[in-house]
Amino acid sequence: MGCCATTTVQRVTMISAVAVIILGVLMAVGWDNLLFKIVYKQLVVNKNTTTGFEMWKETPIPMYLEFNMFNWTNAEEYKKNPSIKPAFTEMGPYVFYEHHIRENITFNDNDTLTYLNKRIWRFEPDKSNGSLGDIITMLNPIPVVVASVVKDEHYIVKKAVNFILQEKDEDLYIKKEIGKILFEGYNDTLINIALKLNISGFTFPFKTFGWFAERNNSATYDGVYNMYSGGKDISKLGVITRWNYEHLTSYYPDGCNIVNGSSGELWYPPLNAEQISIFSPDLCSNVNLHLNGTETLYGIVGSLYKGEADVFDNGTYFESGKCYATELPTGVRSVSKCKFNAPAFMSFPHFYLSDPSFKEAVDGMNPDPDKHTTRLSLEPSTGLPLRVHASFQLNLLMRQMDGIDIYSKINTTLMPCFWFAQKAELTEDLSSMVKLIIVAEKVGNYTAYGLTLIGILLLIIYTYITYKRGWRTDVFWRATGKKVSPM
């Protein structure tokens, strides 16, 4: 009857079924780990030969910085009658192409890198609504800063400052070209005079004033960063651990002074983390974003993170915001101590998610969640940014102040100056790399499932033949077309 041959066939079938099942299970369990172990080796920046290092050293994704300026339309009327509301209209956007290059890179022994971030901006007239020669009327910033510094000084000091303001014909507002207000800068003799008077608390390291003056092409302005490379722990990839050699800043109390979070361009794989954090040198602190759905780009599904009311809360609604508390209502964050003691406050554009009193104190604010929300989408397996839309607004506090004539009759008001949006989107060419990883992950998983099913099917056939029909030589011969000779 060919018993030996039948036993061999039976054993081959059984061994094959078990082997295929084991292979499928092992592949199902280990494929993702193997694949992403290979991927993560290329994502880390602990050596200058990885893909991650090359993409981080000089950002390949096109970025744009859009400025939307607030033109003070009734400045002259307000000066004559401070009981009316300051009114603003929005000008722009004035769009600049932004490029980042990391310089002075040092690889440290503790899985971190120390580096400088050089930012380069180039005006894009075709993408802008207006030219850099446009004239804007705005709150005169230098007198506001000087007045804020001496607000607690003796009345005699204020009168001395008042005399200088009158002598130099400093006014409540100025009219300047957009280009000078942003990057070119302009001369103000009050800067030099205030520095020569050695007014306590007044420091200004630049020769001219402009919101971004002396920042273009500067590698040192943003400070010295220290970040994790991800070589030992991929979950720390890109996390800033020190800024200007300190893990804690001196600008905020405990709880708000910790340097932490990504720089915003290089991310660890979030894997649908409920919250991510960005460290911003413009805020000298962190910004937390919360998971809020998904976003799809080029067929890639990313985890979408948004800024919510807790970003600029001062403890009114969130306990974590108490260390940002100031004399102002919730919804703005003081950056005075890290911006030369200027009475500067950051918020979302048009006071979105801020206390209603800010919007009601001026005319022209129209908060819009679609335009003014800070949001970021990340591919969850690699951490690659799909879309970035970071929007913030700079405001100056114009204080009522006895002893200084131009501020003696006004109402204390938080004056919006401009809001900016930093935008970036993954290119279709770079998306192919992510798609390849996603396809490889799916192919591996589908193959694992397929092998497991084939093994189970073989096991079912083996069981059926064994218990129902028996393993006979003639059955095998009919199935294969081969006759097995007895041994």
Residue 344 has pLDDT above 70, yes or no: yes
Let me know if 292 is exposed, middle or buried by CB neighbors in 10 A (0-12, 13-18, 19+).
Answer: middle
Residues 6+ away with beta carbon under 8 Å from 295: 301, 302, 304, 377, 386, 387
Residue 228 has pLDDT above 60, yes or no: yes
Residue 88 has pLDDT above 60, yes or no: yes
pLDDT tens, residue by residue, 90-99? 999 999 999 9
Give me the residue label for tokens 């800010």: 358
pTM score, whole prediction: 0.84
- CA-nearest of 219, 218, 214, 213 to 182 is 213
A 10 A CB-CB count for 133 gives 9
Residue 471: the pLDDT is 54
Residue 255 has pLDDT above 90, yes or no: no
pLDDT tens, residue by residue, 307-318? 999 999 999 999
Name the average pLDDT for the chain: 84
Residue 130 has pLDDT above 60, yes or no: yes
Residue 462 has pLDDT above 80, yes or no: no
Residue 7: the pLDDT is 62
Distance set, CA 440 to CA 32, 358, 379, 446, 453 (Å): 9, 52, 15, 10, 20
Distance of CA 479 to the CA centre of its chain: 64
| Mean predicted confidence (pLDDT) in 334-354 | 92
Residue 481: the pLDDT is 53
Q: How confident is the model at residue 138 (pLDDT cuts 50, 70, 90)?
A: very high
Residue 446: the pLDDT is 56
- CA-nearest of 121, 118, 120 to 57 is 118
Distance set, CA 125 to CA 67, 175, 186 (Å): 13, 22, 22
DSSP alpha helix (H) spans, 44-69: 51-57
Q: How confident is the model at residue 181 (pLDDT cuts 50, 70, 90)?
A: very high
Residue 1: the pLDDT is 42
DSSP-derived secondary structure for 388-411: EEEEEEEEEEE---TTSHHHHSSP
Least confident interval from 65-74, 189-198, 351-360, 363-372: 189-198
Residue 33: the pLDDT is 61
pLDDT tens, residue by residue, 14-62? 676 666 666 656 555 555 565 556 666 767 887 777 888 888 899 888 9
DSSP letter for 275, please.
E
Residue 443: the pLDDT is 52
Residue 476: the pLDDT is 45
Nearest-10 crossing angle of helices 155-167, 189-196: 150
